[in-house]
């Protein structure tokens, strides 16, 4: 959420930012509602001040047992007037809030302006694409042949868009989770947390999934809970509504969770295999930092995430998203895309974004500055570190052999019984 004061004082900047995010919000209407609200507020507060004065006097008169019926008569009218004005303020505030919650975060000045993914910019790349002396297969063919992926039976269980890992496939998934968390805790200094996989709507609002993304979420209406679409939601919300001490910052969390996404409207795209599924595992990095640290910390977070691919020796590139391709809450966002030879393309395995104080304002997440003792909003950010199925795809496709087996990346071998390859049985 943007600060109404900021909007008031930067109307043009906000209009431009909103437009660059491909969003259409009537900012002028918001501004005029805001002005109206403040005028009403001034009016009703003057009357309330008067009421408070009189109430105090009544208290004193009562003590002296003096009659005050005539005052009551007058004050009844004052009370009614206040009620009417309060109602007006409440209604107009609701109207303002209904606009405000739909306004996206505005892109950082350093973020490229563009309408969609075709205008994202290349940042850097790493690694050498392997030269194959045979035609590289797609992960679903490799995995099914090895008996480690079973799409047909996954569909029997839950419909399309689900994965059944078996044997070394299941172990590979589990190994990756442990491997990634170990790197981030031991080497990068993140605190491991294991949060609930279901959250209240307040959490979903806090990180900005609600209201806009509601159709993409799995909801449990009986219990007013949502299945999390990413660990970002529970983890960023850990300190919702709190005022932290500056000395507690930055906080760095790493969490493994499954992620549930309806992927509404994306049917037909990437239906084959496990590039786009309704449930997937992910190791997520979340940072809470103080104002001013957001951008350097985002760069570090990006490096922490890409380290995983480097250790796994998987070639990748980094893309910076343009304004129109960024998510609702993001101010700046990098994607890490792993090379997948079987797809002859890149797969997004991580998205690293900073939200500045956008999420924090929604969830009331603040900190007290050590020196000034002032209360400020925390700056939040997160990035996948990394999303699992697509890393599995990249491993299967990059490490496949002519005989159909798959060599296990060295770094994962300790997590997989020191085996060197996944073979036919």
Partner RNA sequence: GGAGAGGUGCCUGAGCGGUUGAAAGGGGCGGUCUCGAAAACCGUUGACCACGUUCGUGGUCCCAGGGUUCGAAUCCCUGCCUCUCCGCCA
Q: Interface residues with RNA (CB under 7 A)?
A: 4-5, 38, 41-42, 45-46, 48-49, 51-56, 58-59, 62, 72, 75-76, 78-79, 90, 224, 243, 366, 373, 375
CB of 291 to RNA, least distance (A): 13
Q: Identify which of 138, 370, 153, 343 has the alpha carbon closest to the alpha carbon of residue 245.
A: 370
Q: Which is nearer to RNA, 41 or 311 (CB)?
A: 41
The catalytic position among 327, 348, 368, 421 is 348
CB of 251 to RNA, least distance (A): 17
- Asked if 253 and 238 count as a contact pair (C-beta separation under 8 A), the reply is yes
CB of 94 to RNA, least distance (A): 10
Say how far apart CA 56 and CA 34 lie, in whole Å: 32
CB of 223 to RNA, least distance (A): 8
Q: Which is nearer to RNA, 19 or 58 (CB)?
A: 58
CB of 197 to RNA, least distance (A): 14
Q: Is 348 a catalytic residue?
A: yes
| Host H or E run for residue 305 | helix 294-312
Q: Is 366 a catalytic residue?
A: no
- Asked if 108 and 331 count as a contact pair (C-beta separation under 8 A), the reply is yes
Q: Which is nearer to RNA, 72 or 267 (CB)?
A: 72
The catalytic position among 261, 361, 362, 366 is 261
Residue whose pair of structure tokens reads 């299967």 in the numeric block: 396
Say how far apart CA 207 and CA 226 lie, in whole Å: 13
- Region of residue 147 (phi > 0: left; psi between -120 and 50: alpha; otherwise: beta): left
Residue whose pair of structure tokens reads 């890409």 in the numeric block: 306
Q: Is 261 a catalytic residue?
A: yes
User: In 207-230, which positions are buried (b, 16+ CB within 10 angstroms) versus exposed (e)?
Assistant: bbbbeebeeebeeeeeeebbbbbb
The catalytic position among 350, 361, 390, 397 is 390
The catalytic position among 8, 174, 276, 421 is 276
Cis peptide before 84 (omega within 30 of 0): no
Q: Which is nearer to RNA, 49 or 121 (CB)?
A: 49
The catalytic position among 37, 240, 252, 351 is 351
Q: Is 247 a catalytic residue?
A: no
CB of 14 to RNA, least distance (A): 16
Q: Which is nearer to RNA, 75 or 164 (CB)?
A: 75
| Host H or E run for residue 377 | strand 375-377
Say how far apart CA 147 and CA 170 lie, in whole Å: 11
CB of 38 to RNA, least distance (A): 4
Long-range pairs for 144-152: beta carbons < 8 A, 24 or more residues apart: 145/404, 145/424, 146/404, 146/405, 146/406, 146/422, 146/423, 146/424, 147/424, 147/425, 148/172, 148/422, 149/274, 151/273, 151/274
- Asked if 169 and 154 count as a contact pair (C-beta separation under 8 A), the reply is no
Q: Is 153 a catalytic residue?
A: no
Q: Which is nearer to RNA, 131 or 247 (CB)?
A: 247
Q: How many CA atoms lie within 13 A of 336 on its CB side?
A: 30
Say how far apart CA 138 and CA 131 lie, in whole Å: 16
- Region of residue 405 (phi > 0: left; psi between -120 and 50: alpha; otherwise: beta): beta
Q: Which is nearer to RNA, 264 or 370 (CB)?
A: 370
Catalytic residues: 261, 276, 348, 351, 390
């Amino acid at each position: 959420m943007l600060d109404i004061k900021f909007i008031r004082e930067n109307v043009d900047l906000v209009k431009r930012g909103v437009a660059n995010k491909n969003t259409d919000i009537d900012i002028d209407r918001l501004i005029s509602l805001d002005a109206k609200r403040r005028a009403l507020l001034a009016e009703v507060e003057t009357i309330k001040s008067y009421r408070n004065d009189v109430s105090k006097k009544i208290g004193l008169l009562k003590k002296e047992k003096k009659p005050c019926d005539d005052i009551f008569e007058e004050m009844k009218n004052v009370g009614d007037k206040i009620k009417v004005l309060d109602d007006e303020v409440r209604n107009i505030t609701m109207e303002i809030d209904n606009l405000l919650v739909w306004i996206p975060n505005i892109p950082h000045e350093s973020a490229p302006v563009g309408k969609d993914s075709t205008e994202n910019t290349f940042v850097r790349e790493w690694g050498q694409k392997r030269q194959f002396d045979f035609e590289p297969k797609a992960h679903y063919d490799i995995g099914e042949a090895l008996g480690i992926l079973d799409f047909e039976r996954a569909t029997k269980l839950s419909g399309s868009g689900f994965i059944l890992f078996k044997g070394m496939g299941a172990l590979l998934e589990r190994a990756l989770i442990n491997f990634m968390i170990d790197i981030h805790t031991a080497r990068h200094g993140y605190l491991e947390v294991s949060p609930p996989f279901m959250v209240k709507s307040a959490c979903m609002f806090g990180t900005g999934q609600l209201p806009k993304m509601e159709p993409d979420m799995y909801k449990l209406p009986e219990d007013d809970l949502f299945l999390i679409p990413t660990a970002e939601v529970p983890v960023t919300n850990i300190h919702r509504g709190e005022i932290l001490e500056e000395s507690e910052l930055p906080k760095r969390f790493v969490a493994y969770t499954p992620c549930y996404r309806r992927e509404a409207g994306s049917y037909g795209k990437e239906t084959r295999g496990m590039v786009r599924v309704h449930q997937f595992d992910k190791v997520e990095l979340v940072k809470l930092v103080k104002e001013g640290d957001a951008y350097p910390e985002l760069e570090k977070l990006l490096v922490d995430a890409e380290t995983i691919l480097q250790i796994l020796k998987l070639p990748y590139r980094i893309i910076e998203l343009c304004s129109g391709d960024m998510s609702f809450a993001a101010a700046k966002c990098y994607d890490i895309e792993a090379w997948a030879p079987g797809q002859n393309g890149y797969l997004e395995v991580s998205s690293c974004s900073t939200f500045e104080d956008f999420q924090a304002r929604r969830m009331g997440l603040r900190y007290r500055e050590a020196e000034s003792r002032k209360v400020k909003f925390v700056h939040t950010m997160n990035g996948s570190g990394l999303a699992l199925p697509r890393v599995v795809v990249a491993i299967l496709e990059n490490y496949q052999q002519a005989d159909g087996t798959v060599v296990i990346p060295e770094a994962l071998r300790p997590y997989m019984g020191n085996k060197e390859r996944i073979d036919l049985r």
